[in-house]
Structure 1
Amino acid sequence: MTTPICRFDTPEAVAGWYAIDDRVMGGVSGSRMAFHTEGHAAFSGSLSLTNNGGFASVRSPVIASASVGGSACLLTVRGDGKRYKFSIRTGAELDGVSYQAAFQPPAGEWTRIELAVADFIPTWRGRVLDHLPPLAVSSARQVGLLIADRQVGPFKLDLRAIELVG
């Protein structure tokens, strides 16, 4: 059984998503989440290492259905061959702890990626925090997507849905 967190089939589905890129620290990378007329969202932009930059991300508050918990997150995506991270934040802080799980969907084809809750690693500003408890999905306050790891240049990740596997 799955519970939807986000379905990207309407323009309203991307309205709450906003970018947090390396520009917050002087970098020049940029990203956005936009609705595509084919009925999906696209996380896209360009990653640059200029001015010690190197990350681009988008975030959205979690809607109530995500607070039910689950054993995994299921993403329906079409990649570009690059590595991405799906993140869940349990705190309300802009710059707080983020539990992240990496994935690399095949380029050019729709696929479903299942990320087990046990695979999410607590991080802060890209640093692993070993002393924190495992992710409790029922405490999710925000979800996000991130690209980093020195993958310079344009990127695009299409999304149809983010769901919880119960």
Structure 2
Amino acid sequence: MRGIFYMASTKLIVLKSKEIIYTVIFLGLVALFIIILTIMFKKPATVSETASSNTASETTEPSYNPGTYDSTITLGESTLSVMVTVDDHSIQDVALSNLDESVTTMYPLLSSSLEAINTDLQYVSSIDDLTVSGDTKYTSMLLINAIKEALAKAVVQ
């Protein structure tokens, strides 16, 4: 009786050192790309998240003399007035006066930044709690500083 024998063949895989190095570099670049994408598309904290975290901690609200107070911003050769309307404890509205077409054309983010600040003020208890987006960071900071200057006039002594 004959037995059936299977011959196992051994396969050898030959890797060249260049292939190993290229593979390691490629995997490193893929990992770096994933890290960069994660950092770029990380979602910033929203105003509602900031407001909810602020309600958990007890803060003292400033006391204002109700009315409308102003401060000025100089943009190029134009001077704008930032009008801040307050009640006893909060900011009700922020508006720009002396805003003409040339200023709006030269500084297109001014109006949208002001609208965003007015919207965000409904959800936060203080001007210091506002978060600004990266797109309008400098314009928003300019407006926030002008609002703070006007609020300094409104604070009860």
TM-score norm. by structure 1 comes to: 0.27
TM-score norm. by structure 2 comes to: 0.28
Of Structure 1 and Structure 2, which has the larger fraction of its residues in strand? 1
